[in-house]
Amino acid sequence: MFKIFFMALVSMLLSACTTVPVGVTPVDNFNLSKYQGKWYEVARLDHSFERGLEQVTAEYQLMPEGHVKVTNRGYSTEDETWNEAIGKAKFVESKNIGFLEVSFFGPFYGSYIIFNLDEQYQHSFVAGPNTSYLWLLSRTPNPDKTVIDKFLKISEKLGFDTSSLIFPEHSS
């Protein structure tokens, strides 16, 4: 399962590079210091590299070299094991724009676009290189329904297929 997770991610990165979906605009006034730390995946569009995973989290940490260490973790209900992927991210434009590229495999990078972020850095709406990649991240595993409703409304308006979203379970 672990190899499949990474191979699928590689194919996404190879085919996608660092593009931005039509209509999606990265946030400005982005502050990586505030974004660092642990985020819970509340919703996602399905991809083989996350298929069957619950309790999914992402952790971001600024490294001395200037890149961002990315640690994605999820529990495979089928294998009853934890899967972890460690990668790195770097800014595509400037450090105050929420447009990064992330890599889990060498020189191949894929888009990581933060297109909605509240002022307290508690909820983040993230897209990949096209409308097939979408995530709702939160500092808590169960955000308020108003956050989810806002995510659905904005994402649907931007052309994402919100009817196909997966809402992974999180243990209490």
Instruction: Answer yes or no: is 172 within a domain.
Output: no
Asked, for residue 68, whether it belongs to a domain, the answer is yes
Q: What is the 3-state secondary structure (H, E, C) of 151-169?
A: HHHHHHHCCCCHHHCECCC
Report the number of distinct structural domains present in the chain. 1
Q: What is the pLDDT of residue 14?
A: 45
Q: Is residue 121 part of a domain?
A: yes
Q: What are the start-end ranges of the E strands in 17-163?
A: 37-44, 53-62, 68-76, 81-91, 99-105, 108-117, 123-127, 134-138
Q: What phi and psi values does residue 45 have, to the nearest 5 degrees?
A: -85, 150
119 and 108 Cβ atoms separated by less than 8 Å = no
In a domain, 8, yes or no: yes
The whole-number pLDDT of residue 105 equals: 81
**Domain limits for position 58:** 2-164
This prediction has a pTM of 0.88
Q: How many CB atoms lie within 10 A of CB 33?
A: 8
In a domain, 16, yes or no: yes
DSSP string, 105-121: ETTEEEEEEEEEE-TTS
The whole-number pLDDT of residue 127 equals: 98
In a domain, 171, yes or no: no
Q: Distance between CA 102 and CA 98 in Å, rounded?
A: 12
| Per-residue pLDDT tens listing for the chain (172 residues) | 555 444 454 444 444 467 899 999 999 999 999 999 999 999 999 988 899 999 999 999 999 988 999 999 999 999 999 999 999 999 998 999 999 999 988 788 999 999 999 999 999 999 999 999 999 999 999 999 999 999 999 999 999 999 999 999 998 5
| 70 in a structural domain | yes
- Among 42, 6, 26, which residue's Cα sits nearest to residue 165? 42
CATH number reported for the structural domain that contains residue 122 in this entry? 2.40.128.20
Which residues on adjacent β-strands are paired with residue 62? Answer: 68
